[in-house]
């Protein structure tokens, strides 16, 4: 599975066409594996982690 595995999904095609291939974070997380999401979360600043824990 390479970096373009999800590039044929309709919502990815839409964002590639409309936003010149720049995915919004809420779109990018839709195609991230749990491991990728875990790495993203582990790299957040403590204040953002606290916000997420308190609100989600």
**Rounded distance, CA 21 to CA 32, Å?**
16
> Residues 32, 40: contact at Cβ < 8 Å?
yes
Residue 4 lies in a domain: no
| Non-local CB neighbours of 2 within 8 Å, separated by 6+ positions | none
13/55: higher pLDDT: 55
Residue 29 lies in a domain: yes
> Residues 15, 27: contact at Cβ < 8 Å?
yes
8-44 tens-digit pLDDT: 777 777 777 887 777 778 878 888 889 999 999 999 9
Segments forming the whole domain that contains residue 17: 10-55
Q: What is the DSSP letter of 18?
A: H
Structurally, the chain folds into a number of domains equal to 1
């Amino acid at each position: 599975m390479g970096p373009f595995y999800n590039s044929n999904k309709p919502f990815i095609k839409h964002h590639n066409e409309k936003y010149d291939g720049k995915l919004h974070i809420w779109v990018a997380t839709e195609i991230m594996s749990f491991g990728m999401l875990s790495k993203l979360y582990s790299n957040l600043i403590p204040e953002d982690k606290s916000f997420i824990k308190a609100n989600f």
